[in-house]
């Protein structure tokens, strides 16, 4: 009688593992899945791998004003001056949000304040 519950829990756990195995860091940050982001960083995944439009994980962290994730990504080598196909940088997204703390973090992490979109 307890077996179906155990099997259900195992299947749910395997589903989470397959998400982590197939996800890019940018996808995980976009989805707000900080556990997967941490797991991928620990596995030395490419933190600068862009999505199809050039958006990186750091773009999503800046857009979401997620300082903890942005800090983790920068420590793992994320490029604060990365641009997507629209010419947007994480710094531009932080400025658009009006996030002084994120701007400070990104500028200290190598972002440029004088980039033109």
Question: For the domain 3-108, what is the CATH code?
Answer: 1.25.40.20
pLDDT tens by residue, 90-116: 999 999 999 999 999 999 999 998 876
What is the C-alpha separation between 62 and 113, in angstroms, rounded? 14
pLDDT tens by residue, 27-68: 999 999 999 999 999 999 999 999 999 999 999 999 999 999
Q: How far is CA 4 from CA 10, 26, 30, 54, in A?
A: 10, 35, 33, 43
CB 78 within 8 A of CB 56: yes
pTM: 0.80
End-to-end CA distance of the chain: 61
With 60 as the cut, is the pLDDT of residue 21 above it? no
Question: Domain-by-domain residue ranges, the chain?
Answer: 3-108
């Amino acid at each position: 009688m307890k077996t179906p519950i155990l099997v259900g829990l195992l299947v749910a756990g395997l589903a989470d593992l397959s998400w982590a195995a197939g996800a890019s860091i940018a996808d995980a940050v976009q989805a707000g899945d900080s556990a997967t982001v941490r797991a991928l960083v620990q596995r030395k995944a490419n933190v600068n791998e862009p999505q199809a439009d050039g958006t990186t994980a750091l773009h999503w962290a800046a857009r979401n004003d997620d300082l903890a994730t942005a800090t983790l990504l920068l420590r793992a080598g994320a490029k604060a001056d990365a641009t997507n196909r629209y010419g947007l940088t994480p710094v531009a997204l932080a400025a658009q949000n009006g996030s002084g703390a994120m701007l400070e973090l990104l500028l200290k992490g190598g972002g440029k304040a004088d980039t033109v979109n």
